[in-house]
Structures are given as structure tokens and as C-alpha cells.
A and B are shown apart, each in its own frame.
Chain A
Amino acid sequence: NAGVTQTPKFQVLKTGQSMTLQCAQDMNHNSMYWYRQDPGMGLRLIYYSASEGTTDKGEVPNGYNVSRLNKREFSLRLESAAPSQTSVYFCASSEGVTSGGRTQYFGPGTRLTVL
């Protein structure tokens, strides 16, 4: 199993450009998450999807949108990138609370720079 995969690994954008970060998991997990990691601030939740067909805002959703395409895939879109969105983005998945699985499994991350 590949676990959680993310593409791309690195990306440089100019202010105002848009892009979509892709995430997929092959563990048949119900829940998926998008985090951003900034120095000294730990991991902050952007959006999450408790199950296929549902999404909800996290701590820092402004400037982002998500799509839970199917049970495997959860994408994060930046419609108009800003320098404040320079960060490392992690996708994670878990079985979901209703299934009794709370451990979150993380992907390798996408390093995004917005100039």
C-alpha cells in the first residue's frame, strides 16, 4: 500500500495564480484532512471531510476550497494565491470516529511558495 500520496511535492506560484493540490489514500479510510504547517505554529487544520460527500471548515479555511472527489481522493484548491499561503501542506486520512479509528496517517507534504 502506498498510504497517503500527495502531488505535487514542490510548487512555486505567483500572487493571484490558482492551483489544486491532490491527495489520495488507498487505505479505504472514511475521513480525510488538509493541514498547513508553518514554523512555530504546528499543524493547523484547513478543511476536513468526515466521509465521502461531506466537507467542513477547519481552523484556517479562508482562501481555500476542497473537493472530496470520491472515497480515495480529497483535493485542495487555491483560487487566487497570496504570499501568506506560502507553507507546507499535508493531507491526512483516518478510518473515522464512527469506525473507531482515530489515528491520522499523513502524506509526505507539498511545499508551496507564493511570490
Chain B
Amino acid sequence: GENVEQHPSTLSVQEGDSAVIKCTYSDSASNYFPWYKQELGKGPQLIIDIRSNVGEKKDQRIAVTLNKTAKHFSLHITETQPEDSAVYFCAAPRPHGSSNTGKLIFGQGTTLQVKP
């Protein structure tokens, strides 16, 4: 089955610096990789996702890169702001046999602190 490892578990940066969070996955058939942001006391919210037919996707200050050969994908946040402080989760599909179930397996989470 799929296994997703996320690093680092905590990350502290100065406001304006960049932050990078990396995830590795084990199932080479995985083809969808979302990133979620969870603010304190709230549920996770999708911030960006990438499908396996592209190597990079950007949305303003956020980008995700995918390396299918190495089986890892990364979240990049540029020009960090205090409101970026949150817990970030990566995820990959959880297959069931040969069928795509829509289920996800999540990484362990990264607590990002942006210091003003």
C-alpha cells in the first residue's frame, strides 16, 4: 500500500523568507498530490494540488513540484507572512487493488512558524 513521509515536522522562518516542505511516497502509480493547510482550531483546507502529468504548479506565493522518478513532491512558500503560520499536510491517493477509491493517505504534518 501507499506510505507518505513528510519532513520536517517543524519549521521556523523569518517573515519574507521561503519555506519548503517535502513529502515522499511509495506507490509509483500515485497520480494526485494535494497539500492542505490547517489553522489552529479549524479543519484542513486544500491550498494547492498537482497531478502526475505536470512537474510544477504555481499559485501566487505557493508552488508545488513533483519528481515522479524520485517519488517525492514539495511545497514551496515564498515571501512568507505571519498568516502562513499553520500546520501543512501533504497527501497521496490510497489505492485499493487496481481501483482508484478517492481515499487519501496523509503525511504526519509540518508546523510552520513565521516570525515577524
Contacts and interface: CB of A to CB of B under 8 A. Distances in A.
A90 interface: yes
Interface stretch (B11-19, B66-74, B77-85, B95-103): B95-103
B102 A97 contact: yes
A75 interface: no
Contact of A109 (B34, B36, B42): B42
B65 interface: no
Given A31-B102, A109-B42, A42 B107 contact: yes
A104 B108 CA distance: 17
Given A45-B94, A109-B43, A33 B103 contact: yes
Nearest to B34: A103
B45 interface: yes
Interface of B: 6, 9, 32, 34, 36, 41-46, 49, 89, 93-94, 100-109
